Amino acid sequence: MLGGGEVVFTHSAFLYDTDDAYVSLLSGFVNEGLERGETVAVAAAPDRVSLLRDALDGESRSVSFLPADEWYVRPARTIAGWAQILRTAAADGSPFVRLVGQIPYAGPYAPWLRFEAALNRSLAELDGHLLCPYDRKGLPDSLLRAAVRTHPRLHDGDWCDNAGYEKPEEFLAATPEAPWPVSGEPVVVVPVEKSVAGLRALVRDRATAEAWLPADRVEILVLAVSEIGTNSIRHGGADRELRVWLTADAVVTEVTDDGTTGPSPLAGYLLPRQGEIGGMGLWLVQQLCDALSIRQHGGLTRVRFAVRRG
């Protein structure tokens, strides 16, 4: 927090080559916060946590350690989790919050690269410092270059303002999330009319009768259809359609419309304002579904989302 009580969210990348460098910087970062009575939380893989615990010794009891494989499941859920920690600490009177977040990169990278860019806007009004370690020897060069593009602050031998940082909107526009793959003909193709009530009933009835998903996940699917369909009716063009595919591992749904402008690159990543009603559709879908991609091509806006079967 700056003098005068101005809230500042700091998002930094730490590029390291050795375990010794990792432990030295992070233990100093954490210890300084603990000495000042600040809230400290760390999300990292077990081997990284063990290194840090050993360096902190008894002081590690004052740190909240979060298992990375449970914390980094879907980007919007992780944004919501960091926001909850920041807000709770502020409400409890903590003078500041220090966070360490080390993404366990595996599988498609794009969702988590987009996450790193988006949270610069998502958490901008909250007070804290999120430090993201990147192993220069263990990660591909493409990820290290992306880390530089998505973090306003950088530690690469020393702290500096990052000249390679890109505005989140620009990075997100250039780094789309790939749509969940489908093949063959969809099992549902229907127009999206002026109300989503019929869509909800159709999807719920078909999903239940044909055992697309367990009952609780049918309701997630129906809610997502309702929210995306409503967005299309309110903000899209006049020619709207819903399609559903069944794949081996998910129910995949797509809503298309011929609107001339699609959602903002940050759609679905920004925290709903506390006390505000409405405007939460894409945020909810990002929280509940297992994938969401938004693309514009050939005069159509395509919003595709997936709900896993298990």
For residue 43, give the H/E element and its range: strand 39-44
pLDDT recorded at residue 157? 86
Mean pLDDT value across residues 94-116: 95
Nearest to 256 by CA among 306, 295, 198, 203: 295
On the question of pLDDT at 2 being above 50, the answer is: no
119-138 pLDDT, tens digit each:
999 999 999 999 999 999 99
| Residue 299 pLDDT | 84
The model's pLDDT over 38-64, given as tens digits with 9 standing for 90+, comes to 999 999 999 999 999 999 988 889 999
The confidence score (pLDDT) of residue 198 equals 95
Could you tell me if 52 and 26 are in contact, meaning their C-beta atoms sit under 8 angstroms apart? yes
Torsion sign (Cα): 101, 7, 39, 64: negative
In this prediction, residue 275 has a pLDDT band, given cuts at 50, 70 and 90, of low
Which of residues 275 and 291 earns the better pLDDT score?
A: 291
Q: Which two tokens stand for residue 192?
A: 């999206």
Residue 29 token pair: 């970062």
Could you report the per-residue pLDDT of 134-170, keeping only the tens digit for each? 999 999 999 999 999 999 999 988 999 999 999 999 9
pLDDT number for residue 7:
59
Structure tokens at 300: 């159509």
Given a cut of 90, whether residue 298 has pLDDT beyond it is no
pLDDT digits (tens, 9 = 90+) for 4-40: 345 589 999 999 999 999 999 999 999 999 999 999 9
Q: What is the pLDDT at residue 5?
A: 46
Task: Give the residue with greater pLDDT, 310 vs 97.
Answer: 97
Q: Please write the tens of the pLDDT for every residue from 203-242.
A: 999 999 999 999 999 999 999 999 999 999 988 888 999 9
Q: Tokens 């409503």 belong to which residue?
A: 230
- pLDDT at position 192: 96
Q: Is the pLDDT of residue 273 over 80?
A: no
Q: What is the pLDDT of residue 237?
A: 87
pLDDT of residue 235: 87
Strand 159-161 with 153-155, pairing: antiparallel
Strand order in the sheet with 9-16: 64-67, 39-44, 97-101, 128-135, 9-16, 153-155, 159-161
**Whether pLDDT at 279 is above 80:** no
- Confidence tier at 3 by pLDDT (50, 70, 90): very low
Cα separation, 201 vs 199, whole angstroms: 5
Share of the chain above pLDDT 70, in %: 96
Question: Which residue has 């989503």 as its token pair?
Answer: 196
Q: Is the pTM of this model over 0.95?
A: no
Helix (H, G, I), strand (E, B) or coil at 186: coil
Helices (H), 179-295: 197-209, 215-235, 281-288
Give me the residue label for tokens 């970062």.
29
Mind listing the domains of the chain with CATH numbers?
Answer: 9-174 (3.40.50.300), 188-308 (3.30.565.10)
Residues 6+ apart with CB under 8 A from 209: none
112: tokens are 């988590």
Mean pLDDT, the chain, whole residue set: 93
Residue with tokens 């919003």: 303
Q: Residue 261 pLDDT > 80, yes or no?
A: no
d(CA 192, CA 11): 41
Average pLDDT (168-192) is 96
Q: What's the mean pLDDT in 96-125?
A: 95
Q: How high is the pLDDT of residue 199?
A: 96
- Spatial separation of the C-alpha atoms in residues 236 and 126, rounded to whole Å: 32
Element (H, E) at 47: helix 46-56
Residue with tokens 């693309």: 295
